């Protein structure tokens, strides 16, 4: 249960569709979540489940049309971002909410020096002079661990390595000290050692600046160390949400079980075979009326295919949408904990 005094972002019943020649794609279907001040919320799930669309809708970056918000509210410090005009949102983006995109090479402007790209937001939102903005850009590059920032500020994105481009993106996103940082797959294109460095950097900066973070990823390994809470998304809906400890040590949804069983574990001495989730996600042109995971779930019952499961609150921080929580459901053994219920 959210503490209203601590909540920075409160998304309620967000429903987003895209109108195409083939029909309506129901990308996000009634998603609700909140982010507290200074915390990290991870939204995890397979590609195509609606994570990035949710993040881009919060930033009001989805093209309308073809995209449209069918219903829902996006409250940021009490203001409903879904009701703001484009001009009003321009004052929020970069200054109060910033975003790190998946691919820094396509997100950075290849024709502009990196320093100038950092300076743009500072001159617009902080009313800095060109000289002040350049000093701040150098300071930001130094803060994100960029070697020789005085030299790098004059270079173009193609002169940077993948890890350096991602650091530059973080510098741009954090230049105006935003209250909320949305990181959309920030380590996807990087090797494992650079991934660890980038996540460590984001944690350090969060402590220094007290920034809230929404981390969007399909990589549970990345999530394990950095997230305070985790929301598990599937086919446009959040199927389970809880603290990082609850999701990793006491998950309750079969989809969450499947995600965890497909991740290598170092705490098991003997070799363990990874088990992929069989099947494919549902077609969001015509999503199922029942539980979206029913077609791939080995525990699926008739009711799962006919009716969407209600929300079951396991405690103040942990909830799940699953018919296995019903008192009349058959008892199954949790494959992660080994406990029956």
Give 93's DSSP letter.
Answer: B
Instruction: Give residue 317's pLDDT.
Output: 93
Q: Phi then psi for 284, rounded to 5 degrees?
A: -80, 0
Contact yes or no for 55/184 (Cβ under 8 A): yes
Give 220's DSSP letter.
Answer: H
Q: Phi then psi for 78, rounded to 5 degrees?
A: 90, -20
State the Cα–Cα distance between residues 80 and 50, nearest whole angstrom: 21
Instruction: Give residue 294's pLDDT.
Output: 92
Instruction: Give residue 94's pLDDT.
Output: 82
State the Cα–Cα distance between residues 120 and 126, nearest whole angstrom: 10
Instruction: Give residue 323's pLDDT.
Output: 93
Instruction: Give residue 270's pLDDT.
Output: 57
Instruction: Give residue 210's pLDDT.
Output: 84
Instruction: Give residue 3's pLDDT.
Output: 57
**How many CB atoms lie under 10 A from the CB of residue 251?**
24
pLDDT in tens, 119-149: 988 888 888 899 998 998 998 888 888 889 9
Contact yes or no for 182/97 (Cβ under 8 A): yes
Instruction: Give residue 102's pLDDT.
Output: 73
State the Cα–Cα distance between residues 292 and 300, nearest whole angstrom: 11
Ordered mean pLDDT values, 10 residues apiece, the chain (341 residues):
76 94 91 93 90 91 89 92 89 87 77 91 86 90 87 91 84 85 79 76 81 87 86 94 92 92 64 75 89 92 92 93 90 81 63
């Amino acid at each position: 249960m959210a503490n209203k005094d601590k909540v920075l972002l409160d998304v309620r019943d967000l429903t987003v569709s895209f109108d195409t020649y083939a029909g309506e794609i129901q990308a996000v279907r009634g998603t609700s979540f909140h982010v507290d001040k200074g915390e990290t919320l991870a939204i995890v799930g397979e590609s195509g489940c609606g994570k990035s669309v949710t993040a881009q809708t919060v930033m009001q970056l989805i093209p309308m049309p073809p995209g449209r918000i069918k219903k829902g509210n996006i409250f940021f410090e009490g203001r409903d971002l879904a009701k703001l005009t484009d001009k009003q949102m321009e004052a929020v983006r970069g200054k109060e909410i910033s975003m790190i995109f998946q691919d820094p090479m396509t997100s950075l402007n290849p024709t502009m020096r990196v320093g100038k790209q950092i300076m743009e937001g500072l001159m617009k939102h902080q009313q800095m002079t060109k000289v002040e903005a350049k000093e701040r850009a150098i300071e930001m590059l130094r803060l994100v661990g960029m070697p020789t920032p005085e030299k790098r500020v004059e270079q173009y994105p193609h002169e940077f390595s993948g890890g350096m481009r991602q650091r530059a993106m973080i510098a741009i996103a954090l230049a105006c000290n935003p209250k909320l940082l949305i990181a959309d797959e920030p380590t996807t294109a990087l090797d494992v050692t650079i991934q660890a460095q980038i996540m460590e950097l984001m944690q350090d900066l969060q402590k220094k600046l007290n920034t809230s973070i929404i981390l969007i990823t399909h990589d549970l390994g990345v999530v394990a160390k950095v997230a305070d809470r985790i929301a598990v998304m599937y086919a446009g809906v959040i199927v389970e949400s809880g603290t990082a400890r609850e999701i990793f040590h006491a998950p309750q949804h079969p989809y969450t079980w499947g995600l965890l069983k497909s991740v290598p574990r170092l705490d098991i001495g003997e070799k363990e075979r990874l088990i992929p989730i069989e099947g494919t996600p549902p077609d969001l042109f015509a999503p199922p009326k029942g539980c979206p995971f029913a077609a791939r779930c080995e525990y699926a019952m008739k009711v799962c295919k006919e009716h969407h499961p209600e929300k079951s609150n396991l405690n103040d921080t942990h909830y799940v949408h699953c018919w296995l929580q019903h008192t009349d459901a058959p008892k199954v053994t949790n494959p992660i904990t080994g406990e029956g219920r």
